[in-house]
Amino acid sequence: MSSMMARSAAAEVSDVDPGETEARKASLVVLSPSGEVTCAVGLGNQSAVLALVRDPEWVAGIKTSRLVAMTINGRKLILMWTELADGAMVTVSEAPGDTVLEFIHSVDFAYDIFEHLLSNPFDAMTVVDTDAIVRFISPIHENFFRQRHGEGYGRPVQKMIENTRLHNVVQTGKAEVGHIQRMNGSNRVVSRTPIYRGEKIVGAIGRIMFKGPEQLEKLNQEINSLQSEVKFYRREAEAMRRNEYGLDSIIGESRAVRELKSDITRIAPLDVPVLVCGESGSGKELVAQALHRISSRRNNNMIMINAAALPSTLVESELFGYSAGAFTGAHQKGHPGKFEQANSGSLFLDEIGDMPLEVQAKLLRVLQDGYVEKLGSTKAMKVDFRLISATNRDLEGMIRENEFRLDLFYRISPVVLHVPPLRDRLEDIPALAEEFLRNFAERHDRPVCSLTPEVTSLLQSHNWPGNVRQLKHEVERAAIFSNGGEIDLDLLRRSLYGVGITAVADRSTTRGAEAGDMQLKDHMQKVEDVVIESAMQRLQGNKKRVAEELGISRSYLYKKLAEIGTM
């Protein structure tokens, strides 16, 4: 912009009505290359402003910042410096509000921020006035629409931007955020915001939030990932808060349970790793708790990790911990890993059969060396813990399929305890059910329900693929729908899967009739498959609800569905 153009602009301002000039509250001063004032209009003609533009020190400052806020003769003004081909120009305007004035006054690079917001190649912007006439389009937006610079200024926005709704926003005064707008054959996620001066709409701005729904989906996936990590930490925190139980928590007087308790009593004092095997829901965690509570490490922590639920992104930081500044977002004091937290105590690795192979290798290294090294640290730390692992998987079969490391198996299984499934200890069901009903009543401040002999007989005749966890779930659900007192046979039948036990048994028998030489375990497998299929159909494939209703873990449910072929 030349001095001649600046003088022309000044002449236009001078020719308008004085009241209109005051309403615009904008003026300017034009300087020659030597710094002499060649033109001064409006507020720029005030002696205080002229004194500033003649002050070399002040001029040097505004040349750097290009935008300053000042109070002159009681008026809050904004002065902007613009270099011209043959001089310079200082525009003077009254500040539109205290927030803008404070921002410019406090931030000496305010001009650069405005420049960034208006020309940012990743954040296109369009500005319209109250008549939906385009007043500004950022350069990146002009390129997108294949327009020459300034081509769209002064034209209706509907004629410039495909599928725009800025004219509606100006009329209604209602913002539109996160809308998908198709432009030039591409989808864009946009926001449209009305701009107010006081209570009056003065225009609107449109901005692209995301270049397309794919970016929004990616953001959603990142949020879901973070939520899963939060849930993981909550589960771990809940596990740490949970009471630790001894042998008394393993309820039952069956031969299988008496032998299990006897084995625990003999093994607990020995400071050797223990592998607890058993079906899902059979009570493996209670066995691990008992091993710790009657061991020499009982006064120290027992740290629990669900190997299947451990997010791959958190494996190293969660197990090994990290030092201060190890990565972006790391806590300034660092964080101890599970191995360190279990030092001098016990470490319970649940569902170790679902642990990824790369994590197995890292666990093996710690078990062999007895040292851990935090992320971001070069110093190895000695750790001493008793490892208790649990699984419902066939680890030996997994080893043959190269899904589990043989060397790790030897490390975790010097002693193996087998937790009997509920079908092998049916005589314990009355005691288990009574304990579950008593605990349920205490938690919910309700009378304790009892079981009729017919109900007890029905419970003992069931196969219980979900084991003790499923029994607890079914008994508590029956208690919820009971009116207090006894749980009768009809109520329990309605609770069990929503279908009769007889119906399930009949379906299983029909399927197995063709193979008369099937062993007992094969028949039990068939019943389990039918129960799962029935629940999947009734709950319309909602795997989370199916797992909860059957009292089994989701990882076990996925395994069974894959075997059945109904994934």
Give me the CATH number covering residue 259.
3.40.50.300
Q: How confident is residue 99, by pLDDT bands cut at 50, 70 and 90?
A: confident
Does residue 497 share a domain with residue 352?
no
- Write down the residue that tokens 């004219």 correspond to: 167
pLDDT the model gives residue 510: 45
pLDDT the model gives residue 408: 95
Mean pLDDT of 238-266: 81
Mean pLDDT of 314-321: 78
Q: How confident is residue 501, by pLDDT bands cut at 50, 70 and 90?
A: very low
Q: How confident is residue 414, by pLDDT bands cut at 50, 70 and 90?
A: very high
Does residue 461 share a domain with residue 381?
no
pLDDT the model gives residue 225: 72
Does residue 412 share a domain with residue 310?
yes
C-alpha 2/C-alpha 87 separation (Å) is 8
pLDDT the model gives residue 513: 43
| Crossing angle of the two packed helices 284-293 and 255-267, in degrees rounded to 10 | 40
Q: How confident is residue 551, by pLDDT bands cut at 50, 70 and 90?
A: confident
* Rg of the chain (C-alpha set): 37
Strand partners of residue 281: none
Contact 72, 48 (CB under 8 A): yes
pLDDT the model gives residue 430: 94
- The CATH number linked to 492 is 1.10.8.60
Share of the chain above pLDDT 90, in %: 30
pLDDT the model gives residue 512: 45
- Write down the residue that tokens 């930081």 correspond to: 317
Token digits for 27?
């003026």
pLDDT the model gives residue 143: 82
Is 50 exceeded by the pLDDT of residue 459? yes
The answer to the question of residue 383 being in a domain is yes
Q: Which helix (H) or strand (E) holds 276?
A: strand 274-277
Q: Which residue has the higher pLDDT, 518 or 333?
A: 333
Count how many domains the chain has: 4
Does residue 193 share a domain with residue 264?
no
The answer to the question of residue 80 being in a domain is yes
- The CATH number linked to 175 is 3.30.450.20
Kindly provide the b/e burial profile for residues 126-159, where b requires at least 16 CB atoms within 10 angstroms of the residue's own CB. bbbbeebbbebbbeebbebbeeeeeebeeebbbe
Interval 181-221: pLDDT, tens: 888 777 778 889 999 888 899 999 998 765 555 666 666 67
C-alpha 554/C-alpha 235 separation (Å) is 15
Residues 6+ apart with CB under 8 A from 98: 76
Which sign, positive or negative, has the C-alpha torsion 122, 181, 159, 184?
positive
Mean pLDDT of 94-113: 75
Integer CA distances (angstroms), 122 to 116, 118, 138, 195, in order: 10, 10, 11, 22
pLDDT the model gives residue 10: 40
pLDDT the model gives residue 313: 65
Q: Which residue has the higher pLDDT, 486 or 281?
A: 281
Does residue 464 share a domain with residue 438?
yes
| Final residue in a domain of this structure, among 116, 149, 173 | 116
> Exposed, middle or buried: residue 184 (CB in 10 Å: 0-12, 13-18, 19+)?
exposed
Least confident of 9-23, 108-122, 535-549: 9-23
Mean pLDDT of 45-71: 89
Q: How confident is residue 331, by pLDDT bands cut at 50, 70 and 90?
A: low
Q: How confident is residue 232, by pLDDT bands cut at 50, 70 and 90?
A: low
Residue closest to 288 by CA, chosen among 393, 388, 413:
388
Residue closest to 424 by CA, chosen among 274, 282, 559, 276:
282
Mean pLDDT of 274-298: 93
Q: How confident is residue 497, by pLDDT bands cut at 50, 70 and 90?
A: low
Interval 354-398: pLDDT, tens: 888 888 888 898 999 888 888 777 788 899 999 999 999 999 999
C-alpha 62/C-alpha 41 separation (Å) is 19
Annotate 373-432 with DSSP letters as a single string: E-BT---EEE---EEEEEESS-HHHHHHTTSS-HHHHHHH-SEEEEPPPGGG-GGGHHHH
Local structure of 558: helix, strand or coil: helix
C-alpha 339/C-alpha 371 separation (Å) is 9
Neighbours of 456 (CB within 10 A): 17
Mean pLDDT of 24-42: 83
pLDDT the model gives residue 148: 86
Share of the chain above pLDDT 70, in %: 80
Token digits for 259?
């032998």
pLDDT the model gives residue 268: 92
Annotate 278-319 with DSSP letters as a single string: --TTS-HHHHHHHHHHTSTTTTS-EEEEETTTS-GGGHHHHH
Does residue 539 share a domain with residue 398?
no
| Final residue in a domain of this structure, among 365, 397, 418 | 418
Q: How confident is residue 45, by pLDDT bands cut at 50, 70 and 90?
A: confident
Annotate 173-229 with DSSP letters as a single string: ---EEEEEEEETTEEEEEEEEEEEETTEEEEEEEEEEESSHHHHHHHHHHHHHHHHH
pLDDT the model gives residue 329: 54
Does residue 92 share a domain with residue 14?
yes
| Final residue in a domain of this structure, among 65, 95, 116 | 116
Residue closest to 90 by CA, chosen among 129, 46, 125, 152:
46
Strand partners of residue 230: none
Least confident of 36-50, 141-155, 455-469: 141-155
Least confident of 209-213, 299-303, 498-502: 498-502
| Strands in 61-124 per DSSP E | 67-72, 75-84, 87-94
Write down the mean pLDDT value for the chain: 80
pLDDT the model gives residue 503: 42
Token digits for 206?
């449109």
C-alpha of 460 from chain center: 43
C-alpha 276/C-alpha 395 separation (Å) is 12
Domain around 187: 123-211
Q: How confident is residue 306, by pLDDT bands cut at 50, 70 and 90?
A: confident
